Amino acid sequence: MPRSVHIIGAGISGLSAAVRLANASYQVHVHEATQQAGGRCRSYFDTATNLTIDNGNHLLLSGNHHALAYARSIGSEAGLIGPTRAQFPFVDLASGQRWQLDLGDSRLPLWVLDKRRRVPDTNLRDYIALAPLVWAQQSKRVDEAIRCEGTLYRRLVQPLLLAALNLDPPEGSAGLAGAIVRETLLAGGRACRPLIARDGLSAVLIEPAVKHVQNKGGSLRLGHELRGLAISGDRITALKFGGADTIVLAPDDAVVLAVPARPAASLLPGLKTPTKFRAIVNAHFRVTPPRDLPPILGVIGGLVEWLFAFPQRLSVTISDGERFVDQPREELAMAIWRDICKAAALAGELPPWQVVRERRATFEATPEQNALRTGPLTRWKNLFLAGDWTATGLPATIEGSIRSGDRSADCVMAMRQA
Ligand SMILES: Cc1cc2nc3c(=O)[nH]c(=O)nc-3n(C[C@H](O)[C@H](O)[C@H](O)COP(=O)(O)OP(=O)(O)OC[C@H]3O[C@@H](n4cnc5c(N)ncnc54)[C@H](O)[C@@H]3O)c2cc1C
């Protein structure tokens, strides 16, 4: 058994590896470059709204089994809040039409058989026509597998895949889209209950993990950026953090590199990683949500795609947000606020707001970029990879990150047999 495992990166993938290894009695040391754990999944105090907000609204589903097991193991599962049934209210801002998709709570997708529960103005044949996605080849685009038009596409497939792939679905990887359809729509309502960390991503998914690892004797060093690796033969022999700050590894120590694709590629020249990324825009408005507003509202026909109601704020997500990255912030906030007023039947001046644009929110989920993902193993026996960009079979999501973290931890544990 390795004496120590050094985990580079305290994002959700690094922390999930840390939790799993700490639970298995490994001595875990997490090294994080920034001053805060959480990576792309974190909360912070925002002075513009005077609220603690998340860097992005993150939606989990009840079928995200690795994510739920992770939350359970750090004691914060109860912090993932959602309705008891998988119901998704939608509004079309162009037509003003409102409807609710009711996936129920079955393990089978029986909702497609019920006209009152499926998307209005769709029929069973529309759903059957999605079948080619379920077994689509990895090399295909979504528009090579299904027809990207029609009512079902506009009202359900487009919003679902846009959120999951973070790009306009036709250009997306049909293989990744198929994984989403298999694990959500096809898995029945029981797998599709929406869950959000209502008290904040850090409070629910990050801080309890750090505490858990520390309680098991592990450590987290913030502001501790890995700058280089010393290599001898088929092993990593030392971690270089700059200047004289070097950690020499014992023969049975292991390293999990859980950093995003770009830093991973610069630390390990020649490593195959995705090279293109897509943005996500989130905007937050300090306002008390109307009482009848659901916690999550799907919005089509506007700028906004999903509207989240939190106790003191309304927050929106816009995926594939490249086109808004250079737009003046005030103008963007105003345009989003106009959409919110329509969607939530609100009126009034622009309240205190914040716009957060994550330029490299996710790797580009096209077939070409998906083909550049790498598994957890490297040519060095004691170095393993984790991260949402590694070959998880899923797009860049919390579930994918945690699967990758768990998998890298399993590889570390398998080292003793090697
Ligand atoms: C705005 C936004 C909205 C999103 N919405 C959703 C959603 O609704 N549902 C969902 O499931 N997913 C969502 N995601 C995706 C999800 O947040 C990511 O897939 C996940 O957080 C990635 O975790 P990670 O650990 O792989 O990478 P990261 O979170 O990027 O963590 C990597 C860590 O490594 C650190 N690091 C980098 N280089 C070094 C170094 N040299 N030394 C030490 N540390 C280093 C970084 O500082 C960082 O903390 C969203 C992402 C964004 C940005």
Is the beta carbon of 406 within 6 A of some atom in ligand 1? no
Q: Are strands 87-92 and 296-300 parallel, antiparallel or unpaired?
A: parallel
* Cβ of 201 below 6 Å from ligand 1: no
Q: Which residue among 6, 29, 58, 198 is best mutated to probe the pocket of ligand 1, counting the most ligand atoms within 8 A of its Cβ?
A: 58
pLDDT higher than 60, residue 119? yes
232: Cβ–Cβ under 8 A, 6 or more apart, which residues?
Answer: none
Amino acid at 134: V
Question: Strands of 228-232's sheet, edge to edge?
Answer: 228-232, 235-240, 246-248
Average the pLDDT over 110-119 and give the result.
92
Cβ(42) – ligand 1 distance below 6 Å? no
Task: Assess whether pLDDT exceeds 90 at residue 107.
Answer: no
pLDDT in the model for residue 45: 97
pLDDT at residue 240 is higher than 90: yes
Nearest CA to ligand 1 atom 6: 58
What tokens does 184 get?
């959500």
Ligand 1: residue whose CA is nearest its atom 51: 361
DSSP 241: -
Q: What is the mean pLDDT of residues 11-23?
A: 98
Closest C-alpha among 117, 156, 114 to residue 133: 156
Distance CA 292, CA 42 (A): 28
Task: Report which of 111, 259, 271, 134 is spatially closest to residue 192, judged by C-alpha positions.
Answer: 111
What pLDDT does residue 3 have?
81
Of the pLDDT bands very low, low, confident and very high (cuts 50, 70, 90), residue 416 is: low
Q: Is 14 in the pocket of ligand 1 (CB under 6 A)?
A: yes
On the 0-12 / 13-18 / 19+ scale of CB atoms within 10 A, 223 is exposed
Whole-number pLDDT of residue 247: 98
* % of the chain exceeding 90 in pLDDT: 93
Residue 417 above 70 pLDDT? no
The mean pLDDT value for 82-97 works out to 94
Average pLDDT over every residue of 344-364: 95
Name the pLDDT band for 2 (thresholds 50, 70, 90).
Answer: low
- pLDDT (mean) for 68-75: 98
DSSP 52-94: EEESS---EETT-HHHHHHHHHTT-GGGEE--SS-EEEEEETT
User: Does 282 contact ligand 1 (Cβ within 6 A)?
Assistant: yes
First to last CA, the chain: 11
* Centroid of ligand 1 to alpha carbon of 284 (angstroms): 20
Give mean pLDDT, residues 177-205: 93
State if residue 2 touches ligand 1 by the CB under 6 angstroms criterion.
Answer: no
Q: Kindly report the pTM of this predicted structure.
A: 0.96
Closest ligand 1 atom, CA of 280? 1
Q: How many whole angstroms separate alpha carbon 289 and alpha carbon 119?
A: 26
Q: Whose CA is nearest to atom 26 of ligand 1?
A: 387
* Confidence grade of residue 415 (pLDDT, cut at 50, 70, 90): confident
pLDDT at 348: 87
Q: For residue 162, which of 142, 133, 145 has the smallest C-alpha distance?
A: 142
Q: Does position 48 have pLDDT exceeding 90, yes or no?
A: yes
Atom of ligand 1 nearest to the CA of 224: 43
Please report the sign of the dihedral spanned by the C-alpha atoms of residue 164, residue 165, residue 168, residue 169.
Answer: negative
At 106 the pLDDT is 87
- 3: DSSP letter: S
Which of 68, 259, 266 most suits a substitution to test ligand 1, by most atoms within 8 Å of the C-beta? 259
Query: What is the CA(14)–ligand 1 centre distance, in A?
Result: 10
Query: Please, are residues 252 and 2 in contact by the beta-carbon 8 Å criterion?
Result: yes
pLDDT of residue 181: 92
Positive or negative: CA dihedral 225, 228, 230, 233: positive
Quote the percentage of the chain above a pLDDT of 70.
99
